[in-house]
Every structure is written in C-alpha cells, then in structure tokens.
Chain A
C-alpha cells in the first residue's frame, strides 16, 4: 500500500471566494469538513463531493477535491451511480432540506434503503435558501414564509424519522455552531460503512434566522438538548439532573433524585442495536432534542455486494469477451 501523505485543512481549501452570506451556518460546516478530512486517512484524489442544488449544494465548489454540483434533488442518485461504479472512491453528498426531502425525496430514501456507502450532509435550515425563503418540508407547522403568508398548513418531516423509516443504518443530528462535535460526527459518519446521514441544524441568517435558537440557543441549550454518547446514560440539563427512561412504548423525561430515581435507572444509549425502536423515538423526540449519533449499525453495502456479484461472475465465466459472447449459444453456420 502506498503511504498516504499527511494532509492538512489547507489542502482542502479552494483558492476562490466562498460565497455564502456572511454569518451563514454553512461556513462552520465547511470548516468542520476541512478539519475532519485530514483525519480520515483517505488520499485527496479519492474524495468526491457531490451535491444537488441550493445554497448548501454549492459546497463542492469550496472543496479542493473532485466535485460534482448536479441537479436539484438528484445529487443522491448521481452519487449512488458514482459509488456503485467506483466503490474505491470516498463519496460525500451535500444537500439541503428541500433538495433531499422535497424534490429529491425519492432518491434520498432509496440511497438509504440500498445502504450505499455515501456520507450525506443534510443542511437543515428549514427553509429554501437559494430561492429566497419559501417553506420547506422541514419548516415548522404554521410558519409564515414567503410562500405561506398565512402560515404553513403542512406537517414537517423529521429527517431522522425518514431515515429510520427508509431502513437507514446511520443517523446523526448535529448543530452547525458546535465545531468539535460536528467534526467528531463527520469522522464517525465516514467510518460507518453504508449510507450515513448527518442532519446539521444550520442557520440561514437571511431567510430563517434563529430558527433553531429556541432549542439550541446558549441560554436554553443545556436544558433542551441531550448529547448522546454510545454506552452512556442519556442525561441532560444544566445540572445534569434529568434523564430519559422508557415509559411503555415511549420515552419519558425524569428527574434524577426524585421519586427514587437514580442514574442507574436512566436509559443507556446503544447506537449499534439493530432494532431501531429506541432510535426512532430519539429521532422523533423534540424535548429534549437528541444530538449526536442516534443510530450506527453495520450492514453490507450495496456497492460491495454488486462488485462481489460482478467479480464472481467474471471469475466463473467461460465467456470473457464480447467477441466470445457473439459466437456463443446457437449459431447457424451456413456454408
């Protein structure tokens, strides 16, 4: 094996300007990716960033790797074809909430269902940024936006529910302004073999500023968010005095020290369990909001199974060229 040269963040930075609005949450995601990539040990030329269309989908232009800015919603399909054709490549997909769950919903769920080894970054700003502020499939019910002056009358998707519903094996939720956690999660997503979906709660300063603030704002965050760690009890709160327990078929917040509840009673996070029931509850839960890797289960990937079928067929055939194929089977030799 060839030795991989030590890469740094700068190796992934392009010369041209980055053109998101000042203060856009996407900047910190870009920085986190550029910090994470030198740590994953993949040669730069093997890395490809694919995207759809949207503010978030400009991402590949800012990465000094191979990149493909494709069509609105279709990045998932193009990345699927690329990874299936070239399993040796390290493929990432940058997509928005509209790109992945409105126009590209079909490709998104099928990429997940097939378990193709692609790292998908969903920039969830709960709005259409590029087209200047229409509501998206993740916009909260009742929101006033450019295309919903009287409030939306649609129930939003929660990306995690969709991922698990589509037989997903990896789902994480992270916050744009928490670089360390973001970086760690990206590395975990990359290490996971199969479709890895990372929902990043991203702030759009222009069209949906502070949309996540009521939950993750500095003052309230610790009370509203449970940081998941594999093998650790799901405890949260400024005083780390609250936790999650299973109550029938649902999760319930309990206070540690009240009603005889101790830390031992708190549910321990197991991201690797195949049964997705608790992962689903965690993905769905709004109080507290689960941050971190909710689910990470190993399973064979589409592209390796496809490659295996090809390799087996190649190894076992007598017909090795098209010319041989042309002369195989029933031939009428007329003399």
Chain B
C-alpha cells in the first residue's frame, strides 16, 4: 500500500471541484465521490455548475461543466466557498475554475489534454502548465487519457478509443480513493451497479479505477494523503437529495397526509423543471402531472384540479410566476387550496436562467392585481424543501388559500445528505370538507378561528354551487357588487392570511437568545452560508446572531421581539434588498443595514464575515 514517506493529513473538511467538458462525466464522478463519502459517514453538500448552453463547443470555456462536493467531519452547510482540490480535465476547465480554488490547493489535470490546440480553444495563448500561473499550487499532471486508454487496450477486449475515453472519470476516482484513503471495494460495487445493464463495461472501468489508484500510489508528486473523519455521533438513515426532489416529495407527502390526490400543472422552465420530471415518475402514488401549453395553463389546470378536490400544484421560476399572477388572484378570491412553487433564478427576463438569486420575493408577496394576500414561505436547505413543501400543502388545504413556496436555483440543484424524516410524526393535514346534503353548507361561510371557507366538491350531492372571479357575497357566495360587501370580503381575505401566523412556529434566534450586538437577518436559500459565518464568528468570540426566516408572509408573531433585542440588524440577501424593504414597511421603527449580492452566486462565508466584522467595528 502507501509509500512510507507519504504522510496522512487529517482535515475537518474538504472542498473538491470536478470540472471538465459536459461529456467528461464529471457529474458522475462527483456523485460517486459524494456517495462514497456519505457511506463513510461524512457530512456533505454538493452543487452542480451547469453551462447555460446545452451543447457548447467541446473544449471551450462555455462548455465547462462542474460539480462541487464539500465533505466534512462536522456540520457542512454550503458547497464551500473555494476548492481545496480541483480536478480539471482540460485547459478550459482549468481556466474557468482558477478563481474558485484556494491558494495552495491541489490541482489535478489531465496533462494529455494540454496540447496547443486545447489551450487555444480555452483562450490561452500559452501552456498554463508551463507558466507561473500555477506556482502557488500543488499540481498533479496526470496522463489520465493515455493511461486510461492503455489500461483498456491491455485488456484486449476490443474496446474502441471512444469508449475507453469514457472510463477516464474512473481514473480520477481511483486517484481520489488513494488521496482520501477510501475503500476500493465500495467503488468497485458502484461500478458494477452502474453498468449492470452493460456488463461489458464493468471490467474496463474497474481496471481504470485501479490504474488511477496505482498511479497516485506510486507517484512521487503526491506527497500527502488526506483523511476526513466520519462525523462523530452521527446516526440514522440518510439519503442524498436535491432541493427539487425534496420539494416534489414534500408535495406528495402533503397530499398523501391530507388524503388528497396530487395534481401538478406545469410548464418547463429552468431551474424548476426537475420538479415536473420528478413528479411525473410517481404516478404509482396516484400523482397526475399535466405538462401545460404555458405557465398560465399550468396554474389554471391546477386550480381546476383543486376545484375538483385534488391538491393542485404548479411549479415555475420567476418569468413563469409573472405569467401566473392573474390566475393566482382567481385562487385568492375563490379561496381554493393551491401551492405555487417558485424556484428563483437570476432576473429580470431570461436573466441568468441557470444561476441563483432571491429576487422574486416582492413579486411573491405583492405581485398581483387587487388586494390579493397570499401566504409566502421559503425553504432554506435542499433537504428542508421537503418540510416547507409539506408546510405549504398544510397551509393551503387547512386555510383554503393559494400559497407561494420560494426556493431557488441553489437549493434546487444542491444535494444534501439528508436525514430521512419520521413520516409518522409529521403533523396531520385536515381538509375542511363538507358532508353530502349538509343543509348548513354555504360556499362562503367561514370557520370562526381560521376564517377559511369549506371545500365542497363537484360530485357531492346537494352541495351544488357556483364560484368564480366576481366578488361574492359574504356567506352565500352569490355575485355581489355591494360596496360594503366588498369591504367585508376584502378584509376577510386579508385577515384569513394574517391568522396563519397563529399556526406557524415562532422565529428562532441562532446565537444570543437575549439579544446582543448584531443580528444577521436572512431568509430562504442563504441559510447555510449565513449560519456558518455566524457560527464561525461566534467561535472567534464575536457577538453575532442569526434570525433566518422561512415564514415570510405572514411573519412569525414574535418577529418584533426578535428584532428589538439587537443593537444592529443586517439583512443579507441575494437581491438589492427586498426583504430589508419589506421589514422596513412591517417594522419601520428599526434601522436595517443591508448586505446584497446579485452575481448569480451564493454568498461566500468569507465575504459575510468580513461585512459583519465591519459592522461590529462601526
């Protein structure tokens, strides 16, 4: 095994970035490595980095796709600011990712692809490997392509070069197994499973995996091996899950617990399409999906389904949410349950479709005609998209209202090692159904506590009624143009949504419960970075705390208590200050500092800490 001179360095956490052409299988290698880390007991979070163009020319900067894996022996909540290890399969991958690696990082390159042609394609007019660009890094120039090819050809299986090149990612994997002291057996099994349907590919892939391992083992250039311990005390059943999958599953869970069929009406849009892709695979749980002709039809079919007693859901991103607004108003006035999922991306317009942003917040809260209040909640980790999707269903059904669930591109595509929830223990969801022929039934008679109307379904005897977009008379639901009635109904709709605050949890403070110097305020998908920044600073002795909001409208009832306990407040968001503006209208008595970023990128822990330190010093 390992050479005696080589030393093993134990690390708390490591960030590895896999980068190559879309065809290089870097996503697969990344997934394979994160699976290995998960079974080893590490914490982890991953984030893919797709090019916007599907088939950008090979070898160019536009065609580079990446996959970042952050593993740790302790809590991991972001994919990591900068990488400790970069795997660059070609010059373009190196070029795009140099700015995302730590000084002193280990960079593994496929030296075979650094010929003049590839360097030029990547926009280098020199060979970066021969230049001073890489002076501050540990560079491992591995002949990945040629060794993979020769390994495969030595097997004498008559495998062509193109197929042989597809094994290169296993060479990388073999090197990583050595580098991170991992179990070879697990990876062999992974390959066997992966190619169960193409058994001819098992032997070459396993051979190349070993070749990579042996190469790393014998190579003088690699002086150190890393070891990231399993997380101490970590126990339970976990699975890797993306935010979009978790959202889809949470919606199914919500419908199932409510005893309803789930109906998704949706029009494809990045980064929300995977919710549609996921749900259409689960007809076996009674789910119906309807790929509509546009976003308007997406929400309208869902409203139709809800009228019919299904749980109607529609999923989209910012531009699609804009198209849905008129119909969202219809769901408000007809007081039907509906969940609208907005997976936010960079805007306006087509903007940065594959990048993350939090800039639909005000659209979600206010973006409708008329007095049209609608609860808004936001998920904050890939895994808890499940919980908040579930919560959105619960609010929609029990309060008879459309609900907007905000996630974002970062949560949607990020993967978390997620502890499988105790499904039994999740709260009940009870739809306010009506019994057939109930003589007391009136379409707009309200519950005294929640103010919701009841849900009578077509097909039920003796409950025939008409609803629609025209203002309805209180209790009876007939069309009414009466001025006072409109006032009453408008007030009811507003108050109904406000009362949801009686049914949601209190806002938590992470940090100084009794208040202190600085309160960091965030919402939605930035939780991981904000939490880690605050945590690290507290460990360094700073008085910083975090209030991270998942319930946006209405806000938790204790929000003011939380805000008033701190000397300073800074609202951090991936937009120009929408939540800050919202808090200013809700709680104008407090001043709010802001930290905003709109680069299509998540927050980095380092930049947050710098900002917080500045604020504390002021």
Which residues of A are in contact with B by a Cβ distance under 8 Å?
Answer: 16, 43-46, 48, 50-51, 53, 60-61, 63-71, 74, 77-86, 88-89, 106-107, 110, 306, 309-310, 312-314, 316-317, 319-323, 325-327, 329-335
Partner of A322 from the list B236, B249, B417 (CB cut-off 8 Å) is B249
Give the distance to chain A from B155, nearest Cβ to Cβ, in Å: 29
Give the distance to chain B from A78, nearest Cβ to Cβ, in Å: 4
Closest 3 CB pairs of A and B: A69-B468, A81-B304, A81-B301
- Chain B 294-310 interface 0/1 with A at a Cβ cutoff of 8 Å (1 = within): 10110011111101111
Whether B285 pairs with A322 at a CB distance below 8 angstroms is yes
Whether B293 pairs with A107 at a CB distance below 8 angstroms is yes
Which residues of B are in contact with A by a Cβ distance under 8 Å?
Answer: 35, 38-39, 41, 230, 234-240, 249, 252-253, 256, 261, 263, 265, 282-288, 290, 292-294, 296-297, 300-305, 307-310, 312, 326-327, 330, 334, 417, 420-421, 423-424, 458-470, 478-479
**A63 vs B464: C-alpha distance when bound (angstroms):** 10
Whether A69 pairs with B470 at a CB distance below 8 angstroms is yes
Whether A68 pairs with B467 at a CB distance below 8 angstroms is yes
Question: Could you say which residues of chain B place their CB within 8 Å of the CB of A79?
Answer: 304
Closest A residue by C-beta to B236: A334
Whether B460 pairs with A45 at a CB distance below 8 angstroms is yes
Whether B307 pairs with A78 at a CB distance below 8 angstroms is yes
Whether B237 pairs with A322 at a CB distance below 8 angstroms is no
Whether A325 pairs with B252 at a CB distance below 8 angstroms is yes
Whether A330 pairs with B305 at a CB distance below 8 angstroms is no
Question: Could you say which residues of chain B place their CB within 8 Å of the CB of A327?
Answer: 237, 420
Question: Could you say which residues of chain B place their CB within 8 Å of the CB of A44?
Answer: 464
Whether B282 pairs with A325 at a CB distance below 8 angstroms is yes
Whether B290 pairs with A80 at a CB distance below 8 angstroms is yes
Chain B binding surface SS class: mixed
Give the distance to chain B from A236, nearest Cβ to Cβ, in Å: 38
Question: Could you say which residues of chain B place their CB within 8 Å of the CB of A50?
Answer: 304
Whether A74 pairs with B296 at a CB distance below 8 angstroms is yes
Closest B residue by C-beta to A319: B284
**A88 vs B478: C-alpha distance when bound (angstroms):** 27
Partner of B261 from the list A82, A85, A309, A312 (CB cut-off 8 Å) is A85
Q: Which of B282, B283, B479 has the most CB of A within 10 A?
A: B283
Partner of B330 from the list A60, A71, A86 (CB cut-off 8 Å) is A71
Question: Could you say which residues of chain B place their CB within 8 Å of the CB of A334?
Answer: 41, 230, 234-238
Give the distance to chain B from A164, nearest Cβ to Cβ, in Å: 19
Question: Could you say which residues of chain B place their CB within 8 Å of the CB of A325?
Answer: 249, 252, 282, 285
Question: Could you say which residues of chain A place their CB within 8 Å of the CB of B327?
Answer: 71, 74
Known: A85-B310, A332-B238. A66 touches B417 (CB 8 A): no
Question: Could you say which residues of chain A place their CB within 8 Å of the CB of B292?
Answer: 77, 110
Whether B282 pairs with A77 at a CB distance below 8 angstroms is no
Give the distance to chain B from A219, nearest Cβ to Cβ, in Å: 40
Whether B467 pairs with A67 at a CB distance below 8 angstroms is yes
Give the distance to chain A from B92, nearest Cβ to Cβ, in Å: 32
Question: Could you say which residues of chain B place their CB within 8 Å of the CB of A110?
Answer: 292-293, 297
Q: Which of B230, B263, B288 has the most CB of A within 10 A?
A: B288
Whether B304 pairs with A332 at a CB distance below 8 angstroms is no
Whether B297 pairs with A331 at a CB distance below 8 angstroms is no
Known: A86-B309, A321-B256, A325-B249. A67 touches B466 (CB 8 A): yes
Known: A16-B478, A46-B459, A61-B479. A71 touches B467 (CB 8 A): no
**A333 vs B238: C-alpha distance when bound (angstroms):** 6
Sample of 18 more A-B contacts, CB < 8 Å, known A71-B330, A77-B293, A81-B303:
A48-B458, A53-B469, A67-B468, A77-B296, A78-B300, A81-B290, A82-B307, A82-B308, A107-B293, A110-B292, A317-B284, A322-B256, A331-B420, A332-B38, A332-B237, A333-B237, A334-B237, A334-B238
**A82 vs B309: C-alpha distance when bound (angstroms):** 9
**A280 vs B287: C-alpha distance when bound (angstroms):** 38
Closest A residue by C-beta to B417: A332
Whether A82 pairs with B304 at a CB distance below 8 angstroms is yes
**A88 vs B261: C-alpha distance when bound (angstroms):** 14
Question: Could you say which residues of chain A place their CB within 8 Å of the CB of B304?
Answer: 50, 68, 77-85
Question: Could you say which residues of chain A place their CB within 8 Å of the CB of B309?
Answer: 85-86
Closest A residue by C-beta to B310: A85
Whether B310 pairs with A45 at a CB distance below 8 angstroms is no
Question: Could you say which residues of chain A place their CB within 8 Å of the CB of B297?
Answer: 74, 77, 80, 106-107, 110
Whether B330 pairs with A309 at a CB distance below 8 angstroms is no
Whether A82 pairs with B423 at a CB distance below 8 angstroms is no
Whether A81 pairs with B284 at a CB distance below 8 angstroms is no
Q: Which of B302, B308, B327 has the most CB of A within 10 A?
A: B308
Give the distance to chain A from B114, nearest Cβ to Cβ, in Å: 36
Closest B residue by C-beta to A335: B235
Question: Could you say which residues of chain A place their CB within 8 Å of the CB of B236?
Answer: 333-334
Question: Could you say which residues of chain B place their CB within 8 Å of the CB of A306?
Answer: 288, 290
Closest B residue by C-beta to A84: B290
Question: Could you say which residues of chain B place their CB within 8 Å of the CB of A43?
Answer: 461
Question: Could you say which residues of chain B place their CB within 8 Å of the CB of A71?
Answer: 300, 326-327, 330, 469
Question: Could you say which residues of chain A place their CB within 8 Å of the CB of B252?
Answer: 322, 325
Closest A residue by C-beta to B289: A306
Question: Could you say which residues of chain B place their CB within 8 Å of the CB of A16?
Answer: 478
Q: List 13 A-B contacts (CB under 8 A).
A: A45-B463, A46-B459, A65-B464, A66-B466, A68-B334, A74-B330, A77-B301, A84-B263, A86-B458, A325-B249, A330-B240, A333-B236, A333-B238
Whether A66 pairs with B465 at a CB distance below 8 angstroms is yes
Question: Could you say which residues of chain B place their CB within 8 Å of the CB of A313?
Answer: 283-284
Whether B308 pairs with A85 at a CB distance below 8 angstroms is yes
Whether A86 pairs with B239 at a CB distance below 8 angstroms is no
Known: A67-B466, A81-B265. A45 touches B240 (CB 8 A): no
Question: Could you say which residues of chain B place their CB within 8 Å of the CB of A70?
Answer: 300, 303, 330, 468-469
Question: Could you say which residues of chain B place their CB within 8 Å of the CB of A82?
Answer: 304-305, 307-308, 458
Question: Could you say which residues of chain A place their CB within 8 Å of the CB of B35?
Answer: 330
Give the distance to chain B from A232, nearest Cβ to Cβ, in Å: 38
Give the distance to chain B from A20, nearest Cβ to Cβ, in Å: 14
Closest A residue by C-beta to B460: A45
Whether A331 pairs with B283 at a CB distance below 8 angstroms is no
Closest B residue by C-beta to A69: B468
**A50 vs B288: C-alpha distance when bound (angstroms):** 21
Question: Could you say which residues of chain B place their CB within 8 Å of the CB of A46?
Answer: 458-459
**A92 vs B301: C-alpha distance when bound (angstroms):** 15
Closest A residue by C-beta to B238: A332
Closest A residue by C-beta to B280: A309
Closest B residue by C-beta to A51: B468
**A329 vs B263: C-alpha distance when bound (angstroms):** 24
Question: Could you say which residues of chain A place their CB within 8 Å of the CB of B290?
Answer: 80-81, 84, 306
Give the distance to chain B from A286, nearest Cβ to Cβ, in Å: 30
Give the distance to chain A from B276, nearest Cβ to Cβ, in Å: 15
Partner of A69 from the list B235, B308, B467 (CB cut-off 8 Å) is B467
**A81 vs B334: C-alpha distance when bound (angstroms):** 16
Closest A residue by C-beta to B252: A322
Whether A319 pairs with B285 at a CB distance below 8 angstroms is yes
Whether B308 pairs with A86 at a CB distance below 8 angstroms is yes
Whether A60 pairs with B468 at a CB distance below 8 angstroms is yes
Give the distance to chain B from A55, nearest Cβ to Cβ, in Å: 13
Whether B466 pairs with A60 at a CB distance below 8 angstroms is yes
Q: Which of B35, B282, B307 has the most CB of A within 10 A?
A: B307
Whether A326 pairs with B465 at a CB distance below 8 angstroms is no
Known: A60-B468, A80-B290, A84-B263. A68 touches B237 (CB 8 A): no
**A312 vs B294: C-alpha distance when bound (angstroms):** 28
Question: Could you say which residues of chain B place their CB within 8 Å of the CB of A68?
Answer: 304, 307, 334, 466-468
**A44 vs B305: C-alpha distance when bound (angstroms):** 19
Question: Could you say which residues of chain A place their CB within 8 Å of the CB of B263?
Answer: 81, 84-85
**A309 vs B282: C-alpha distance when bound (angstroms):** 11
**A306 vs B291: C-alpha distance when bound (angstroms):** 12
Closest A residue by C-beta to B241: A326
Question: Could you say which residues of chain A place their CB within 8 Å of the CB of B294?
Answer: 106
